[in-house]
Structure 1
Amino acid sequence: MPRAEFNLQDPEDLSRLQGQWRFAPGLVPGEPNEGLVSQLDAVPCRLPDYDDSAWEVRHNLAQWHSHGLTFAWYRLRVTLPETVHGHPIRGTRCLFETCIDDYGEIWIDGECDRERGAVQGFNVPQRVLITTDAQPGDQHTFALLAINGPLAAPGGAVFVRYATLAFEWREAGY
Structure 2
Amino acid sequence: MSTPPTFVAPPVILAATPVRPLASPQPALAPALPAVCAVNLMTLEGAALLGAQWRTKEAKIIEVPAIPDAMPEFTTTYDIDPHAGEAGFDDSGWPIILPTELDAKRGGGKVSFLWFRTRLTIPSRIGTFESAGAKVVLALCVDDYAEIWVNGEMPRAAGRPSPATIQGFNMPQRVVLSDAVTPGDTFQIAVFGINGPISVAPANTVWFREVRVEFF
Whether TM exceeds 0.5 here: the answer is yes
1:80 and 2:122 equivalent? Answer: yes
What whole-Å deviation, never above 9, does each CA across 1:101-155 have from its counterpart, x for those lacking one? 1011011111112211001111000001111111111010110001101111222
Residue 169 of structure 2 corresponds to: 122
In the alignment, what sits opposite 2:41?
8
Q: Which runs of 5+ in 1 are unaligned?
A: 27-33, 169-174
Say whether 1:89 aligns with 2:131: yes
Query: C-alpha displacement at 1:13, in angstroms?
Result: 1.6
Alignment length (residue pairs): 161
Structure-2 residue corresponding to 1:98: 140
**Selected match of 2:195 from 148, 159, 163:** 148
Q: Which has the larger radius of gyration?
A: 2
Please give the secondary structure, in 2, of the residue aligned with 1:162: strand
Instruction: Please give the residue correspondences for 1:1-174 in structure 2 after superposition, counting only pairs within 5 Å.
Output: 3-26=36-59, 34-37=60-63, 38-40=77-79, 44-59=83-98, 60-67=101-108, 68-114=110-156, 115-155=162-202, 156-168=204-216
CA distance in 1, matches of 2:104, 2:123: 28
Q: Is the 8 A contact 1:5 1:84 kept in 2?
A: no
* C-alpha contact 2:145 2:169 (8 A) present in aligned 1: yes
Counting aligned pairs with the same residue, the percent is: 30
TM-score, structure 1 as length reference:
0.86
Amino acid at match of 1:144: V
RMSD over aligned CA atoms reads 1.7
How far off its partner does 1:65 sit? 1.1
Distance in 2 separating the partners of 1:77 and 1:153: 33
Alignment gaps of 5+ in structure 2: 1-32, 64-76, 157-161
- CA–CA separation in structure 2 for the residues paired with 1:39 and 1:23: 22
Alpha carbons 2:62, 2:78 under 8 Å: kept:
no
CA distance in 2, matches of 1:52, 1:41: 16
**Structure 1 residue 14: deviation in Å?**
1.1
Kindly indicate whether the alpha-carbon contact (under 8 Å) linking 1:4 and 1:85 is maintained by their aligned counterparts in 2.
no
**4+ runs of 1 displaced by more than 4 Å?**
none
Which residue is 2:14 aligned to? none
Q: Relative contact order (C-alpha < 8 Å, sep 6+): which is higher? A: 1
